[in-house]
Each structure stands twice: as structure tokens, then as C-alpha cells.
Structure 1
Amino acid sequence: MTTTKLSDVLAPSFRPVHDAIRVGQYNQFVLKGGRGSTKSSYVSVEMILQLIRHPEIHAVVMRKVANTMRTTVFAQYVWAITELGLYSRFKPTVSPMEITYRPTGQKIMFFGADDPGKIKSIKVPFGYIGLLHFEELDQFAGEEEIRNLEQSVLRGGPIALEFKSFNPPRTAINWANKYCLRDKPGQLIHHSDYRSVPVEWLGQRFLDDAHYLKSIDTAAYEHEYLGEANGTGGMVFGNVHSRKVSEEDIIVFDRIYDGVDWGYFPDPFAYNRCYFDAARRDLYLFREATMYKAGNRKTADKLIEMGVTENDRITADSAEPKSVADYRSYGLYCHGAEKGPGSVEYSMKWLQSLAHIYIDPARCPDTYREFTEYEYERTKDGEIVSGYPDANNHHIDAVRYALEPVWRRRGR
């Protein structure tokens, strides 16, 4: 089909994505990553390959603002057809901004979301629109805007492949970063960075700049080049990192800690299981339970179902001694946290002082959301208020209780 080998235009990290499309494993792809990861290059190549493979469909490419299209994503697609050795088969035009596949008349059309009238009135000469690419996803207004655009563009036909690409904003509470935590059927979340890209594609200057930034500002390097949402600003926990925790990892964890924050409604019951690597001062959060309107018997049964046994010590909020007693009557080794004056401040500062707090967002989505969205309160003038907000911190409290034997032993 093309005069170029795929290995010449696809970085190794994107080959599994290409193969997943080929076998029909997913139909929606969220591609996030750092500078130089080639995710936009990959999407432009894949869209063209899929257009040729399916002669009955057309494609739409969107950015938030139309006047940025020509020198960015449109130029990227022209690059892709050139690199694939297919330029003679395509006809790019800028008014209207589209690329036509000459053998069939299929079109790749480019639109900005700031002109919704054009989007709603899209007409194709035959077939239907089966390919959609949102470039710079985080620049759109949010999930509702994306859904509205999807509904306007993807109508009819058995094929509907969708790509969303972006560099994660620094703050974890940005809607696009939170969107990547959703486990949506048929959707693959893929993260990439420049380290999987052939050196000759990037050039020595790119690598030198990356290494220099890493040497002077690790946090900026991790955000810009590795695509990590590691911004601090008003965030309480600047040491939180997303990390997959496998069953192989869990098997070798030798000191496990369990914590419970009692709740019913509107506050939830929150449970967490943790591992603390004392030598490296790294904390791993890899299991959670969040339940609403559930009594003590039901939450206890849930923990037992998750593998908690009578030998696992659970440290729970001591403000509810009856709940602690209920758990003990159910055969769980539960006791109340000691708490005491200053315990909240000390335990929070201890968590902030750790080298890393690793949270598996697939295993612990609620915990990850709490830790990454937990921010200091501010005055009306934007000044940060000292102290820790007592809101949306149920799993944070469960973790504090779980690790009370550690932080009390290490400094109080």
C-alpha cells in the first residue's frame, strides 16, 4: 500500500497500538505523553492508513481553535503522506482545509471547535465519517464538549475509530488528566515519551536540551519530556506518582498496612492497603474500597472478599469505637487510631516528606484522585491558607491511619 516500512515512521512504543487496531481490539485511543514522543506523528500516519484501508469512510481532524490548524495538525498530516511515499495520491488544499485521496475521493477534513456551525453541517460526497482525531485534547472545554462533537461527527456506519492526543497539563486536576483515569470499554490509554523514539529522529540537540533540563529541574523535565502531571502550585502532595503495581510486586511486599476511614453518606467508607519501603522512603498504595450507604457488616464482608484476614491489622478512625468493635466481632483484627493533638499535621507532613507516593490509578482510582486533587485552601486574593482542608480526603485519612505505626515510630 505504501512505499515506506512502518518501522520507518512509527516509533516502537506505538506498534502495539497499531496492532490493536489491526485486530479490532479497541476503537478509541487516548494518546498522551511528553515532548518528542511522536504521538501526533503516529496518529496522522494511522489515520491515513485506516482511510486507505476502508474506502467507504472519511476523516475529521479537530483542534479547539481553527486558526491554529494550518501550521500545526494540517502540516503534520501533509508530512505523514509524504513520509509514507503517498504524496502523489493525495491532494491537500487550504480553502477548504482538507486532504483528498485521489483514487477514491475520500477526504480528511480539518475543523476548529470554535466554529460549531461548520461541524454540524459537514457533508461528505459518499459513505460516512468513520475517523476522528482530537489534537491537543486538553485545550477543549471538557468532556461535555467532546461528547457533543463526537455526536455531531460520528454518525452511521460500522467503523468508528477515534484518537485523542495531548501533552498532559501539569496539574492533575485538569479534566483531560482526570479523563485518562476512566476505565471506558473499548478505549485504550497510551503513554509515551521521547526515550522510546530512535535517536536519529530527534537529533542530538533535542537530547542535550532534555538532559540539561533534567540536571537543573527534575520536576520540569518530568512534566515536559516525560509527560507527567506533576504540578504542585497549591497541591498538598507534590510527591505523588502514577505507577502500575503488579501482582508480582505485591507478592514481595513484606510489611502491609491497612487503614479505614468510617463513612456512610454523604461521606463514603474508605479503605486502603499500603506498603512502605523504609529504605527508600517510598509508599505504595495498591488497594482500595469506597462504599456509600453501607453498614459495618457489609463493608467488613467487602474487605474479607478482597482478601483481608484476621491476621491483617486494620487501623481505623477511633472516633467510632462501636464500628471498631463491630469489626472485631466479625473476626477482623481492627483497632482505633491513637490520634491525639497534632497528629493530623504531623502525619500529613510525614506523607509530604516521603520520596515518592506511588499510586496505581487502575487499582485505586478514588485514592489517586484524592491525592492529586487535594489542594490548600486560598483566600479571596489567592493566598494559600495554612492547614489542611478537611474535605474530599477520606482515602487520605485511611492511609494516615494505616501508617500510624510507622510515622509515630519515626519521629513523635
Structure 2
Amino acid sequence: MENKELSAVLAPSFYGLHRQIRNEKATHYWMAGGRGSGKSSAASVEVLLSVMRHPDANGAVLRKVGATLRDSVLGQLLWAAGVLGVRDLWEARLSPLELVFTPTGQKVFLRGVDDPRKLKSLRAEKGYIRCIWYEEADEFSGPAELRSINQTLMRGGKKFTVFYTFNPPKSPAHWINREAAQAACRPGTVVHRSDYRGMPKEWLGEAFLAEAERLKAEKPEAYAHEYLGEAVGTGGEVFTNLTLRKIPEEEKAGFCRVKRGIDWGYGADPFVYLAAEYDRKRGRLLLYHEFYKHRAGYEEIAREIQEENPLREPVSAESAEPRSNDELKSRGIRVVPAKKGPGSVEHGITWLQNLSEIVIDPEKCPNAAREFSGYSLEPDREGGFLSGFPDRDNHCIDALRYACEREMRKPGISF
């Protein structure tokens, strides 16, 4: 089975990913792609290979709704067994739904998570569940649900492989688009993106390719979303100049125009402190540090700021909290009040929109990444959008506005 020519099984766009999986370079593999990208085919092949390669391994393939498994994932796995030339070694059982590797009794369990209790009782008779595949992962409720399931299933062994296959939803604010962007910065994680153009044409067929070309010509945005797997947006996204990526230490070493800002909060609203490099020549901000916490005390806040800002550079904070600003000043923080005023929010957000790029390190600044990627105009009843920027989930956005106050000032506007 290991001698099977994988070029006849996997598309070229998955060769590198296969080597990473084979060499156990990571635990978590996020596989995003549009229609016909081959991601589900690749995942099904890798699940079976993992079980056959490791005598103590079993697999679990999960969808949000169990009723969809028989007509989707089961057929996909049987296809994989066929192209690998081992169909006669795998037995399909329908109740409960599972595949059995007959030479050893190892299993691949197929389950829906609409009844979480069934997952808690899932046990392998031999070995442990080494390989997990979330098919249509965007249908799950969010990262907390995936984390809970992983905590339930990832036990009893030392090595695990987890696949998350999904078509990226339209909105960049969708949880799985944000999660994949953040996952790219995490150790032990690989994010792989593919589309139909990396597949052999004969695998797709002339009808598929003709339909893709028709949509490309008639509705290029729909084509980009459906076939290329791009999060093209819903039209209401405020920050279309956003890039989520790791900002390495060597890049930070060259920062020389750092802007720092505070948005005050305590109970229901968080306290936020941000630091970002302003590249005036290129017209971009690089957000690399975030302190975001509910019920943070002055001593804790001062320590956090002093640790990030040992040279005591100025920090812009909203002037609506003079007592809080004075508390920080008394602890050695050079607080500069950034006043609010009529038009300040609109002007500040517009200034941020007009930058060539806002780069956010999603590992270091997860809340800023979430806020900026999810900040959208409110829809109206006619299918359009309400005027004005919404005043919700914008604490990091406000802190960055205050941080950049001196760069965006113009007569008649105060922040």
C-alpha cells in the first residue's frame, strides 16, 4: 500500500502537504479550497494512509450533522480505498457507521456531533484515535466546539493528526476564516490552500471546467468565491486593506515610529493597550502588541505598558477618563490625552481605511485581528447598508485611532 504511486491519487498541489503529513511536521492541518480543489479527496486518502501506516491508529471523521455522513464522507473514504488499491481490505459497516481495516481490526469512525454525548463514549477497541478529520469544518459553531471535541478524542496516544477541510465562507469575519488566518502563525499547524486549477484537467472533466469559465466571465466575484475559495466579502466590510500575518522579531527590530494607544474599560468593556509601527512612507500600520483584559487594575496595566514600552514613549489615551489617565501618570506612564469630538470616529476610521495596509499579527493580537476582520456596516432592510460606522466590538479599533491621533489630525477635528 505504501508503494502505491501517489501521483495517481493526489493532485500536484497536495504533494508538499503529503510530505509534511508523512514526516509528521505538524498536528493540525487546515485545508481550505473552493469547488473541485481536491481537499476532501486528499484528506480521505491521508486518513486511510494514517491508519494503515500505524498499527495502533484509528480514525474519526466528523460532520456537524450525522445524517449527512453516509451520502458524503462514507463514499469519499470508499473512493480513497479504491484508488489506493486496498478496497478489498476495508469493510463498510452501516450501524454504527464505520470502516474496518480487516487485516487488523483498526477502524475509522464516522460520526455527527449533533449529539455530543455519542462522542464522549467513542472508544477504539485497539490502539487510539490518532487521526481526526472535520469535513465541512465551517459548519461547526466555532473554535470552542472544535477544541472541546479535540480534548475529548485526543487521548491515549502521543501523536495525532487533525484535518479541517472547508470552503471559505464569503465573509472574512466568519470564524473559520479568522481561525485559519490565526492558525497559520501557530507552531504545529499548517494551513494549505488549493483550488481547481491545481487539479489535473482530466480529473475534473470538460463540463466542470466549462462551467467555471462561464462563471468567471459572467460573475467574477462569485467565481472567486466558489471556485478559488476566496473570502470575497459581503460588501459591508469596513477594512478591506487588512492583512493578518506573523510579524517576526527581525522585522520588529527595524521599527522606529511606534504608535501606542489606550481605550479604557473595566467591567463590561475591556481595557485595551495596543502598539503598532507606522510606516509613513508606505502608508501602513503594523500592529504587533496587544493587552486586552476585563477588570484590569492600574498596577497591572502599568506593568504591562512598562514591559512593552521601557523607554517611556508617549501613549495616547482617550481623554474621557482623566482620573484613569492620572493614575497611570502617577505610575510613570507618559499618557497623552486623545480627545473625542464631533466627527472624530468617522474621520479616524476613514483614515485607517485609506491606509495602503493594516497588518495585524493574529497570534500576538488576537482580539484586534477579530475586531478588524469582523467590523462591518449594519445591513438595512433593502439589501444595502446603513450609513455610519457601528459602535460595537470596536475597542481595539478605538485604541488604534487614539494611537494615531497626531498622524491623522486636521483642523476642526479632535479625538
Shorter-chain-normalised TM-score: which range? Answer: 0.7 to 0.9
The more displaced of 274-283 and 220-229 is 220-229
Of 82-91 and 135-144, deviating more is 82-91
**Structure 2 match to 1:100:** 100
Is 1:61 the counterpart of 2:26? The answer is no
Provide, for residues 333-380 of structure 1, a one-character-per-residue CA deviation record: whole Å limited to 9, x for no partner.
431224432111111122233343222211210101111222334568
Structure 2 residue runs of 5 or longer lacking an equivalent are none
Determine the structure 2 residue equivalent to 1:298. Answer: 300
**Alpha-carbon separation, structure 2, partners of 1:396 and 1:184:** 22
Query: 1:239·1:352 contact (CA, 8 Å) conserved in 2?
Result: yes
Hey, what's the Cα distance between the residues in 2 that align with 1:49 and 1:211? 35
Displacement of 1:305? 0.9
* 1:74-118 CA-partner distances (Å, limit 9, x unpaired): 343334334434345434577876443232233334344457797
1:188 maps to which residue?
189
Show the 5 A alignment for 1:4-23. Answer: 4-5=4-5, 9=9
- The one-character-per-residue Cα deviations of 1:163-204 (angstroms, maximum 9, x if unpaired) are 222122222443434554479998625242349947778879
Match for residue 401 of structure 2? 400
Displacement after TM superposition at 1:399 (Å): 0.7
Once the two structures are TM-superposed, the CA of residue 397 in structure 1 deviates from its matched residue by 0.6
> What is the distance in 2 between the residues matched to 1:221 and 1:330?
56
DSSP 3-state at the match of 2:164: strand
Indicate conservation of the 8 Å contact 1:27/1:162, yes or no: yes
Q: Which residue of 1 aligns with 2:249?
A: 247
Change (3 A) 1:211 1:339: farther
CA contact (8 A) 1:291 1:299 kept: no
Root-mean-square deviation (CA, aligned residues, Å) is 4.3
The one-letter code of the counterpart of 2:387 is S
Q: Which amino acid aligns with 2:174?
A: N
- Kindly provide the CA deviation profile for residues 35-92 of structure 1, in whole angstroms up to 9, marking residues without a partner as x: 5554323322221121112224432322234554456433433343344343454345
Cα distance between partner residues in 1 of 2:279 and 2:223: 25
Q: Is the 8 A contact 1:64 1:139 kept in 2?
A: yes
Unpaired runs of 5+ in structure 1? none
Shift of 1:272: 1.7
Moved more, 237-246 or 88-97: 88-97
Once the two structures are superposed, residues 262-306 of structure 1 have per-residue CA deviations (whole angstroms, 9 ceiling, x without a partner) of 233332221222234445543322221113333444323212212
Deviation at 1:216, TM superposition (A): 8.6
What SS does the corresponding residue of 1:358 show, helix, strand or coil? strand
Is the aligned partner of 1:237 residue 2:239?
yes
Point out the more displaced range, 394-403 or 152-161: 152-161
Partner of 2:354: 353
- Contact preservation (8 Å) 1:3, 1:86: no
Give the letter for the 1:249 counterpart.
Answer: E
**Matches of 1:88 and 1:283, distance apart in 2:** 58
- What does residue range 133-212 of structure 1 map to in structure 2 within 5 Å? 133-142=133-142, 146=146, 161-180=161-180, 181=182, 188-194=189-195, 197=198
Show the counterpart of 1:267: 269
Letter in 2 for 1:59: G
Instruction: Please give the TM-score of this superposition, normalised by the length of structure 2.
Output: 0.77
Partner of 2:409, secondary structure, is: helix
CA contact (8 A) 1:230 1:241 kept: no
* Within-5 A mapping of 1:332-351: 332-351=333-352
Structure 1 residues 69 and 24: alpha-carbon distance in aligned structure 2, compared to 1, 3 A threshold: same
Confirm or deny: 8 A CA contact 1:285 1:357 kept in the other structure.
yes
- Which amino acid is 1:168 matched to? P
Is contact 1:35-1:193 (8 Å) kept? no
Matched, 1:362 2:357: no
Instruction: Give yes or no for contact 1:3–1:85 (8 Å, CA) kept in 2.
Output: no
Residue 131 of structure 1 aligns to which amino acid in structure 2? C
**Aligned: 1:43 with 2:66:** no
Q: Which has the higher mean CA deviation after the structures are superposed, 9-18 or 104-113?
A: 9-18
Deviates more, 1:354-363 or 1:389-398: 354-363
Task: Tell me the number of residue pairs that the alignment of Structure 1 and Structure 2 aligns.
Answer: 411
AA aligned opposite 1:269? F
Whether contact under 8 Å (1:232, 1:238) holds in the other structure is no
- Would the alpha carbon gap of residues 291 and 130 (structure 1) be closer, same or farther in structure 2, given more than 3 Å must change? closer
Shift of 1:20: 6.0
Inter-CA distance 125–246: structure 2 relative to 1 (3 Å threshold):
closer
Is the contact made by 1:230 and 1:238 (CA closer than 8 Å) also made in structure 2? no
- Establish whether residue 131 from structure 1 lines up as the match of residue 131 from structure 2: yes
Q: Secondary structure at the match of 1:76?
A: helix
